[in-house]
Structure 1
Amino acid sequence: MTETISSTSLYDAIFIGAAHIRDRQDELNRINVFPVADNDTGSNLAHTMATIINQAKPHEDVRTTLGEIARSALIGARGNSGAIFSQYFNGLYLESQEKPDVTLAELAEYFQVAYQKAYQAIERPVEGTIITLMRAWAASFKESVEIRRTFAEHLEIALTKVRQSLDDTTNVLQGLKKLGIVDSGALGYYYFMDGFVQSLLGKQSYLHTRVETPDTIVLENDIHRFREESELDYRFCTEVLIESEALDLEGIREEMNPLGDSLLVTSAEKLARVHLHTNQPWEMVKRVAAYGRILEQKSDDMVNEMLLAGAPEKKIALITDSIADLPQEYIYEHQVFQIPINIMIDGVTYFDKRTIDSDFLMEHLDKASTSQLNTEQILSFVRPILHHYEKVLILNVSSKMSGTHSRFKEVLATLESEDRARTALIDTRVNSGAQALLVRKAVEMIANKVPFDQIVSNIEAMRSRAKILVSVVDIAPMAHSGRVSERIGDLLIRLKFKPLVTINAEGDGTIKGIAFSDKKNWKILMKSLRGKQMEDYVIVHAEAPERAESLRQEMVRLTGKEPLYITTISAVVTLFAGRGSVAVAYLEGMQS
């Protein structure tokens, strides 16, 4: 057998290795406990490999082939392991040459550089993980090709060493030792190299099919008891892909370090992917944006992922959307599942209350618009919750103001009848703080173990008592929202129109009062609030803490009690209400 590998054969080997990972994502998810037991390493690696399989094509020369693979891997990279793999492929590309084949000695050098690039991308490398196996393969393959052996022996000996390193990971990381399992990312790399070797030896053909790997790792079914002892310093696994003519990778690293851990900065030509575990994903996105044009970003709640990967609970789950303006600490404390609404800027999707804040929105206001959640987004959000909980209650923003409720209805219609029977979908007919008050009432009833059907009936009856009054002082965002003609919008801006806005019984936004000055607007707001019987109230604002404090003082004087909370409104609501807006949302007192 020849000791050179053609560009096409090298592509086929990488393709088969990628398919080996893709076809084993469930196994990899099941043993995922490091760095976070969030059950997604297999899914992240499968996404990365699927992008390579679907996008990269073989070329006549090795360098072009590996360049396309590296670029596809970076675009499709997800999670720690996906980002590390993308840099590994980039190392193979950087060391390659423009020729139709590669010798084993040259390939050994490719793997050395690939390991080094992957290692350098990790801020704090940990032994017993994927990086350990990458080093084992590079070292054992290089050592083997320096000795006179057959083509097959070189590959098989190196693979055996990698398997030994994989087995050793059980004793390196404390969490793995306790459970008697190997590292999930390391196992993914072993599967990749096994497919790679089988392809080069002619034992595995170029097929889009599942294959069985020799010596498959034996896994226990329930290994996520480790989750109970897991503590996270940072909640969100966040990634940003950018494009720039002059990438400053060191500058990005310096900016990211104070924001979290598990930092990975990987690159391929003009592209860079930044991976970080952080509690401020919106700040991370904003800072990375200064280094290039954002192409995509995502942010996963690892705490929720860990919870939902655990044993099912006989409880009621509560889902709402990000337009319900609740303090983050309340959402976390009471385990409210809040799906972010999409905001589009320059063709890129940002996630409300997750990867975008009001500051970033205002900087790009002229290019921003809301975008409907697609059914796949909703389904992937709802499905794990349905799997984990006995019943699911969903409270959406008014269907007259957003298509979110309709999209949820479409998704629920696709579920099995058993699952549909365990869900209840309610159109709250309000938004913002008023929607949040209904969510709070549902939380209270769930905590008090009120029967599910009774909770649904109570919330539906309570909707008519949920009110909101919004003081708008900047009409420009509303005027440019497309809800009025451009001519009318420009006229309202010139007149400095400052309306008081509310929501009617059907859930439509409507003007409660008309003003052309801040003072008059405030006067109408106070007049509208006087004499109201309020069971509870909250104050929300769009980057207007001083106006919110003035409103608090007036409300305390009027009602004799403090608001339940004061918080900023979602970026979606800011997009229409404008910066400087303040609102009082309240539940009318029950009539005797």
Structure 2
Amino acid sequence: MLRDMVISGANNIEQYKEPVNELNVFPVPDGDTGTNMSLTMSSAGAELQRVADKNAGEVAKITASATLKGARGNSGVILSLLFRGFAKGLADCEEIDGVTLAEALGHGVAAAYKAVMKPTEGTILTVARVSAEKAQEVAAQDNDPLKVFERLVEVAKEVLAETPEMLPVLKQAGVVDSGGRGLIYIYEGMLSVLRDGVIIKAKAPQENAQKANFASFDSADIRFAYCTEFIIHKEHSNKVRNPEALRQFLESNGDSVVFAEDDDIIKVHVHSNKPGRMLQEALKYGYLTNMKIENMIEQLAEKASEMQSDERVVAAPEKPIGFVAVSAGEGITSVLRDLMVDEVVFGGQTMNPSTEDILKAVDKTPAECVFVLPNNKNIIMAAEMAQKIEKDKRIVVLPTKTMPEGISAMLAFDESLSVEENEQNMREAIKGVKTGLVTYAVRDSVTDGKKIKQGEIIGLHGGHIGAVTKSIEKTALELVKQMVDESASFMTIFYGADVKAEDAERLHELLTKRCGDRLEVTLVPGGQPVYYYIISVE
């Protein structure tokens, strides 16, 4: 039943992830709390779909492990911690009564609060804590787990309604806390099973497709190793040549022949050990296009490896320090690569990578110690979770909140220094960077005393909205005016995927004229989504 409860909770948050996303406080396009919580829970749901004949404690442990690996964003990490503490509270439990359930919920809250350095009330933490406390009060009077859980959900809703009074930013925006709302959707999905025996269905249910066990195949069974495909464009002068002769040649020198023709072309597929000979014979009938040759023995090895993907492969250390960085945009990724970043994890605003994504990148990095640069405030907690559960390599998480901070940190790296010395220098470099972000408003809002209408262009600096106009260029210029002071020496402008190169060059010229006598201005095609411009001032 606990297994089904978690699956139902995962399905329910998937159903309602967009309404949770819409509760985002700021009008910037970063409303991904619902998505992060859904992806975190779906990791557990997928894992539990394969589980049978496990007791409650074992189910809770599987859930905790899966949510931790799949945790995305701060909300996803906190959710995983709630389940981690919950699992510890149910260790060695075959079944759960009301008291055990309430105590385990309390363990979950304690684990989440312990991991968050500065807990903020009026968030998912408050909703989880107060509802768990009330559940324990019910359990002391009545040991029925259904009544305990019903009270948990009831109180969670009451606390959620009060969150705007606890956090002024929520009240100003006229919303309740998004993480708390997401938690209630999960609780409601779980309650559906406990109370009614009904698993809430996934939004788009799919049958579990059977997968071949490629690990059980032997490459020696592959008689013809090369899968060869091509198209012959018939030469009309060769129409006297009978294509049937080519079919017979293919079948006598290979297998799995697919041969289709019309007046102008012949489409060929064949498995053979001499693909060059197949192509050479085909050339007698016309010129070739769309040629593809694949080694099926290699493909089998890759498939078998994928089937065993749960077995981690950790790169042997070849150097003392390596780097993993999160990046969105080909240009920014190229800069990070040039600065000797070993592995780049794709992600950023609205697309937070999971703890497992970060761990896999760390595993691939051939270094004794791996520095991780999250480059987004909502990815730092996932990186810190990776740091806690990684056993084979030492991880140092640098708290980079923006791409420019990550780049500045990399510029401060000195391979002749120790891990500790580099960490100190790179942290200092982060402090010397100012980051400006130019994006658009996804909704009407009143933020930082500014009335903002949907579609307007907004500039963010230091976590606050510094400029609002109807023009990308004007917003960028106003933002730079606020960011540049006498201490500034360098400015880098990364322009995004939605900005034309000529528009970016015009902004570069304007800023060079305005600031060129005081600082060096550089333009870089960042290619990032979401933000028209990312502006770095050092």
Structure 2 length-normalised TM? 0.47
Structure 1 length-normalised TM? 0.43
